[in-house]
Amino acid sequence: ARPVIAIVGRPNVGKSTIFNRIIGDRLAIVEDKPGVTRDRIYGIGEWIGRNFSVIDTGGIEIEGEDSLLRSIRMQAELAIEEADVIIFMVDAKAGITNADEEVAQILFRSGKPVVLGVNKVDNLQRMDDIYEFYSLGFGDPVALSGSHGTGIGDLLDAAVHKL
Ligand code: GDP
Ligand code: MG
């Protein structure tokens, strides 16, 4: 089986945008599990000769779950279960939020390898915005712009290195 890379983070940081950048048109068909909708969230990625599955965890809809924090928590836990490497996505424009810190704690406790991606770094003036994310404790943040497609190679270098 292919190794699995999961993209985790609170809503609106750009997970689906980066997911689409990684998979292109290689969407995978996956049957839903009872209580969990998971079609449209699995894709196939390839980088420097490595093939892997990618999960956009934000697309996992958990039936009956209406609390945002609990939903983010459950998505992170599902990702941890399935993933070999986790891409933890945050938003340079928003800075660190409580929900980001919640996700960080869950990921930290899991002991799974994590790559920290800071999205919405749309121009070089924004590069300074990535430094605050060192405090999340996952090492060097990788600057990304899903809008422009920049940083994806660096992100996949870091993720594949940890597989
Ligand atoms: P998700 O909820 O984490 O899956 O986030 P989405 O991929 O749906 O993106 C949320 C919003 O952020 C959308 O309006 C995107 O167009 C926007 N967005 C995504 N990536 C970028 C980026 O690199 N820069 C900027 N400025 N906006 C972005
Ligand atoms: Mg999404």
Kindly report the CATH number that applies to the domain delimited by 4-161: 3.40.50.300
CA of 119 to the centre of ligand 1 (A): 8
20 is in an annotated binding site: no
Using pLDDT thresholds of 50, 70 and 90, give the confidence band for residue 133: very high
pTM of the model: 0.93
Q: Which residues lie with the beta carbon below 6 Å from any ligand 1 atom?
A: 9, 11-17, 58, 119-120, 122, 145-147
25 is in an annotated binding site: no
Asked whether the predicted pLDDT for residue 33 surpasses 80, the reply is no
Listed by start position, the domains of the chain span 4-161
pLDDT value of position 61: 67
CA-angle at 111, arms to 41 and 113, nearest 5°:
55
State the Cα–Cα distance between residues 56 and 49, nearest whole angstrom: 22
In tens, the pLDDT along 65-109 reads 668 888 888 888 888 899 999 999 999 999 999 999 999 999 999
Question: Which of helix, strand or coil describes residue 157?
Answer: helix
In tens, the pLDDT along 8-26 reads 999 999 999 999 999 999 9
ipTM over 0.90: yes
